[in-house]
């Protein structure tokens, strides 16, 4: 068996320790004689799994009691609809367009009400985060929406927008648990876990209780209504049981690593190794405005498509895989999520140096 350094944007690398534990428990979870995959979601052992997962997530993020944690299915795209269907009370919302995911969310919201694009960085292919200190927030807006870390373009909000008192809704799919957050600054924090937490299939929604309403858009499907799942502690119907179990293990791992402050330190150190090299290299260049750089997704280019392709191929042969950039940016992208070891980033940079020297 040999593991590679996997720089995939998602589904992405998981902590090896978590995978080993899951493997050891595969046939017989905790003396039950069965796998977590084979277990009723109403059983005692699973109840304990989901409750412990929620408790550990609450500890990690310091989630206040007036916020509900929901473990859902459906991924990012489902939340693009669920958010407006549940939260558009006045039928108005403001969107900040910092990339494809924010734009898709905005387009979806337009089906349910007035969704204003109040800022955008599309003019420069989303290579920066617009100034959000004084935006034209609609006075009837039910919420202001952001994608906090732009997976494809490699930008991140370093300060949250001034929402002028409106509730902030954030898609944190690709920066979930990468650093401490002040949950009270948000109405809703949601993310698909397949980027920075666990396996595809689980979507976590953290929502302030007063935003969980019964009088939502009447066309809202039962399962997309937050109240349905909130009232049943995410067990209205069958949840993504195995995925939740793995997420729970990742939460334990994060606690053992020292929690989110320690992860932030580690993530900053990892990103610095790569960005410092990009800033000094003559061959490789970052594509994003420096002050808006993501700690999680690092796009870079050589400026020559053939050289990019040669690099990706050589890197892959050397065990650094999934470095191909998204088609809308081109070049390369290294996703260096929580579970990417520091050693993986250092070795990648060594490899890039060697490649540069050999291709001068
Ligand atoms: C991947 C991603 C999505 C889309 O998630 P799906 O689960 O594939 O629908 C949405 N937002 C962000 C920030 C993402 O990285």
57 and 203 in a single domain? The answer is yes
The residue from 166, 195, 225, 249 that is catalytic is 195
Tell me how far the alpha carbon of residue 105 is from its chain's centroid.
15
pLDDT digits (tens, 9 = 90+) for 313-345: 999 999 999 999 999 999 999 999 999 999 999
The domain boundary residue, chosen from 256, 280, 295? 256
Same domain, 60 and 96: yes
Are 189 and 281 in a shared domain?
Answer: no
Coil, strand or helix at 44: helix
Backbone phi, psi, residue 81, to 5°: -90, -40
**What is the distance, to the nearest Å, from the Cα of residue 70 to the centroid of all Cα atoms in its chain?**
16
Q: Which helix (H) or strand (E) holds 163?
A: none
What whole-number distance in Å separates Cα of residue 260 and Cα of residue 58? 12
**DSSP element (H, E) containing 358:** helix 342-358
DSSP string, 179-203: S---GGG-SEEEEETTTTTS-TT-E
Please state, in angstroms and rounded to a whole number, the distance separating the CA atoms of residues 70 and 83.
Answer: 13
Q: Do 118 and 85 belong together in one domain?
A: yes
Cβ neighbors of 335 (< 8 A, separation 6 or more) are 7, 8, 9, 10, 12, 151, 174, 195, 296, 297, 298, 322
Verify whether residue 195 is a known catalytic residue.
yes
Is 185 marked active-site? no
8 A C-beta contact, residue 223 and residue 81: no
Same domain, 204 and 281: no
The number of domains in the chain is 2
Distance (Å, rounded) from C-alpha 140 to C-alpha 154?
A: 32
Does residue 5 lie within any of the structural domains?
Answer: no
Interval 168-198: pLDDT, tens: 999 999 999 999 999 999 999 999 999 999 9
Question: At 209, which CATH number?
Answer: 3.40.640.10
Which residue's alpha carbon is at the smallest distance from atom 13 of ligand 1?
173
Asked if residue 297 and residue 212 are part of one domain, the reply reads no
In this structure, how many other beta carbons lie within 10 angstroms of the beta carbon of residue 214? Answer: 8
Which residue's CA lies nearest to atom 4 of ligand 1?
76
As given in the structure block, the two tokens for residue 114 are 């007035």
Residue 75 CA: nearest ligand 1 atom is 7
Which residue range(s) make up the domain with 177? 17-256
CA of residue 194 to ligand 1 center, whole Å: 8
Query: Are residues 203 and 283 both part of a single domain?
Result: no
What are the two backbone dihedrals, phi and then psi, of residue 169, each rounded to the nearest 5 degrees? -115, 125
CA dihedral 165, 166, 170, 176 (to 10 degrees): 30
Residue among 263, 243, 244 at smallest CA distance from 177: 263
Q: Is the CB of 75 under 6 A from ligand 1?
A: yes
Pick from 194, 242, 203, 249: nearest CA to 79: 203
**Same domain membership, residue 274 and residue 232:** no
The verdict on residue 171 lying in a domain is: yes
**Residue ending a domain, choose from 256, 281, 305:** 256
pLDDT in tens, 130-171: 999 999 999 999 999 999 999 999 999 999 999 999 999 999
Q: Do 271 and 307 lie in a common domain?
A: yes
| CA–CA distance, 68 with 54 (Å, rounded to integer) | 10
Return the residue whose CA atom lies nearest to atom 7 of ligand 1: 75
Could you read off the pLDDT tens digit of each residue along the chain, which spans 360 residues?
789 999 999 999 999 999 999 999 999 999 999 999 999 999 999 999 999 999 999 999 999 999 999 999 999 999 999 999 999 999 999 999 999 999 999 999 999 999 999 999 999 999 999 999 999 999 999 999 999 999 999 999 999 999 999 999 999 999 999 999 999 999 999 999 999 999 999 999 999 999 999 999 999 999 999 999 999 999 999 999 999 999 999 999 999 999 999 999 999 999 999 999 999 999 999 999 999 999 999 999 999 999 999 999 999 999 999 999 999 999 999 999 999 999 999 999 999 999 999 998
* 58 plus 84 within the same structural domain: yes
The pairing of strands 92-97 and 114-120 is parallel
Q: Which of 167, 171, 292, 308 is catalytic?
A: 171
Residues 47 and 129 in one domain: yes
pLDDT attached to residue 1: 74
Give the nearest ligand 1 atom to 99 CA. 13
| Catalytic residue status for 103 | no
- The pLDDT assigned to 2 comes to 87
Q: Which residue has the tokens 């069958």?
A: 238
Q: Ligand 1 pocket test: which of 11, 149, 151 has the largest number of ligand atoms within 8 Å of its C-beta?
A: 151
Indicate whether 2 belongs to any domain.
no
Classify residue 100 as exposed, middle or buried by CB count within 10 Å of its CB (0-12, 13-18, 19+). middle
Residue 313 lies in a domain: yes
Pocket test for ligand 1, best of 192, 196, 329 (most atoms within 8 A of CB): 192
Whether residue 61 sits in one domain with residue 102: yes
| Boundary-marking domain end, from 240, 256, 272 | 256
Residues 6+ away with beta carbon under 8 Å from 123: none
DSSP state of 325: P
* Alpha carbon distance 53, 257 (integer Å): 16
11 Cα: distance to centroid of ligand 1 (angstroms): 10
């Amino acid at each position: 068996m040999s593991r590679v350094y996997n720089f995939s944007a998602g589904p992405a690398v998981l902590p090896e320790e978590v995978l080993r534990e899951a493997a050891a428990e595969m046939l017989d979870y905790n003396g039950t004689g069965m796998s977590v995959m084979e277990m009723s979601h109403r059983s005692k052992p699973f109840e304990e799994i989901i409750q412990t997962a929620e408790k550990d997530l609450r500890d990690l993020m310091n989630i206040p009691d007036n916020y509900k944690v929901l473990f859902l299915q459906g991924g990012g795209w489902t939340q693009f609809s669920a958010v407006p269907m549940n939260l558009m009370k006045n039928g108005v919302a403001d969107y900040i367009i910092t990339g494809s995911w924010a734009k898709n969310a905005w387009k979806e919201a337009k089906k349910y009400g007035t969704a204003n694009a109040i800022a955008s960085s599309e003019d420069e292919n989303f290579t920066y985060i617009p100034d959000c200190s004084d935006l034209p927030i609609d006075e009837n807006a039910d919420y202001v929406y952001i994608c906090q870390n732009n997976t494809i373009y490699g930008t991140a909000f370093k300060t949250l927008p001034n929402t002028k008192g409106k509730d902030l809704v954030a898609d944190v799919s690709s920066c979930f648990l990468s650093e401490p957050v002040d949950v009270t600054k948000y109405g809703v924090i949601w993310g698909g876990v397949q980027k920075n937490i666990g396996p595809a299939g689980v979507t976590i929604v953290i929502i302030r209780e007063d935003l969980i309403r019964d009088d939502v858009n009447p066309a809202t499907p039962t399962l997309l209504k937050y109240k349905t799942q909130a009232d049943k502690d995410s067990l209205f119907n069958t949840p993504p049981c195995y995925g939740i179990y793995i997420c729970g293990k990742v939460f334990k791992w994060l606690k053992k690593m020292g929690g989110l402050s320690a992860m932030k330190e580690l993530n900053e150190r990892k990103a610095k190794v790569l960005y410092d090299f990009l800033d000094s290299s003559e061959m490789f260049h970052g594509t994003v405005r420096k002050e808006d750089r993501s700690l999680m997704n690092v796009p870079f280019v050589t400026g020559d498509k053939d050289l990019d392709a040669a690099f990706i191929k050589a890197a892959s042969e050397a065990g650094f895989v999934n470095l191909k950039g998204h088609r809308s940016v081109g070049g390369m992208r290294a996703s260096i999520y929580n579970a990417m070891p520091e050693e993986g980033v250092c070795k990648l940079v060594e490899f890039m140096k060697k490649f540069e020297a050999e291709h001068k």
